[in-house]
Amino acid sequence: MIKNLLTLALVGTLIANGLVKAAGQDSVRVTSNVKRVGPIYFDASPPVDSALLRRQAINRRLRKKADETADLIKYQNVLMLHSLLNRTEISQEPQENMLTTLKFLLEDYKLSSDDKSQALILNTYGVYYGKKGNIPQAIYYFNEALRLKEKVNDKQGMASISSNLAALYQISGEYQKALVQNKSVIQLFTALRKPALVADAYLELAENQLLLNKYDEAEYNIIKKALPGFTRLGNKAGRMKCFQSLSVLYYSQKRYSEAKWFCIQTHGLAEKLNDKQALIGSLIHMAEVKNALEDHQDALRDYKKAESLAIQNQYPIKLVEIIGDMGETYNKLGNYTAAGSALDEYSRLRANLIKGMTL
Kindly report the pTM of this predicted structure.
0.80
The model's pLDDT over 341-355, given as tens digits with 9 standing for 90+, comes to 998 899 888 888 877
The model's pLDDT over 139-160, given as tens digits with 9 standing for 90+, comes to 999 999 999 999 999 999 999 9
Instruction: Tell me: pLDDT of 56 over 50.
Output: yes
The model's pLDDT over 241-279, given as tens digits with 9 standing for 90+, comes to 999 999 999 999 999 999 999 999 999 999 999 999 999
Residue scoring higher pLDDT (291 or 94): 291
Instruction: Tell me: pLDDT of 169 over 90.
Output: yes
- pLDDT value at position 59? 77
Three-state DSSP string of the chain: CHHHHHHHHHHHHHHHCCCEEECCCCCEEECCCCCCCCCCCCCCCCCCCHHHHHHHHHHHHHHHHHHHHHHHHHHHHHHHHHHHHCCCCCCCCCCHHHHHHHHHHHHHHHHCCCHHHHHHHHHHHHHHHHHHCCHHHHHHHHHHHHHHHHHCCCHHHHHHHHHHHHHHHHHCCCHHHHHHHHHHHHHHHHHCCCHHHHHHHHHHHHHHHHHCCCHHHHHHHHHHHHHHHHHHHCCHHHHHHHHHHHHHHHHHCCCHHHHHHHHHHHHHHHHHHCCHHHHHHHHHHHHHHHHHCCCHHHHHHHHHHHHHHHHHCCCHHHHHHHHHHHHHHHHHCCCHHHHHHHHHHHHHHHHHHHHCCCC
- pLDDT value at position 13? 54
The model's pLDDT over 2-27, given as tens digits with 9 standing for 90+, comes to 445 445 454 455 445 554 444 444 44
Cβ proximity of 221 and 202 under 8 Å: yes
Of the listed ranges 30-44, 105-119, 263-277, the one predicted with least confidence: 30-44
- CA distance to 156, 172, 193, 246, per residue, from 188 (Å): 7, 24, 9, 25
